[in-house]
Amino acid sequence: MKHKDIPLNERVIFALDVNSKQEAERWLDKLGDHIKFYKVGLQLFINGWFPVIDMIVERGYKVMCDLKIFDVPETVKLAINGLKSRNVDFVTVHGNDPILRAAVEVKNGIKILSVTVLTSFDEDDMRAMGLTGTIEDLVYMRAKRSLEIGCDGIISSGLEVPKLRQDLGDNFAVVTPGIRPGKNIPEDDQKRIATPNQAIQNGADYLVIGRPISRSKNPVDTVKTIQEDINNALSKPAF
């Protein structure tokens, strides 16, 4: 399989985990020459609402609306409908088949990403919940069902991507959080992590990265280093 033809400046989706539209604007001012894709999650969405999404889109950048929408199917449909006019590119949905199916039915140009297993979750957490098997098996099962329903892609750590690509092919997007270019950052809550090179080599298309960039001494230099790492992985055969 070949790596998808995605511009390097869209491979990293920078996580705008900040408390205001003004803070988000400052990050776009700083990184906008190097990153063209941004994640708006719960923290920023609650504090900035739609104006922050509109601001990013008006600057010509792409938006991943990472709200992990989880509710009864009719409410999910209404939520997706509420995002249609905002020109977002990706929306994350979390849940069972009826929830995912509801999102797919009304997506109308929005790419629906199914959340498989959060990267802060490991097999100890599975055991604590009374689940058996492995994380890889759980991710695979959820990904397979999501794609059969019609989701455009999945959220998965870099560790599970090889099995997904081997068994499910490459006709879907894999967006990978839990990216750590080096050592874990202090007080890190991510458990299933990968380097940018590992994730891309394993078959990920996009990498969601926040704190390793925002907490670095020189965020722009860090972005450049990450993109070099991605480029090195793209120069080799895919997964």
Beta-carbon contacts of residue 64 (< 8 Å; ≥ 6 apart): 13, 37, 38, 39, 40, 88, 89, 90, 91, 92, 113, 175, 208
Residue 113: φ, ψ to 5°: -110, 125
Give whole-number Cα distances, 55 to 15, 60, 66, 129, 155, in Å: 15, 9, 16, 41, 25
Is position 107 annotated as part of the catalytic site?
A: no
From 68, 111, 144, 191, the catalytic residue: 68
Compute CA 160 distance to the chain's CA centroid, rounded to the nearest angstrom: 14
Q: What angle in degrees, to the nearest 10, is found between the helix axes of 135-149 and 161-168?
A: 40
Which candidate, 86, 90, 114, 118, places its Cα nearest to that of 102?
114
CA 10/CA 145 separation, integer angstroms: 27
Other beta carbons less than 10 A from residue 58's beta carbon: 9
* 71 contacts 94 by C-beta, under 8 angstroms: no
Q: Token digits for 80? A: 């997706």
Which residues are designated catalytic? Answer: 68
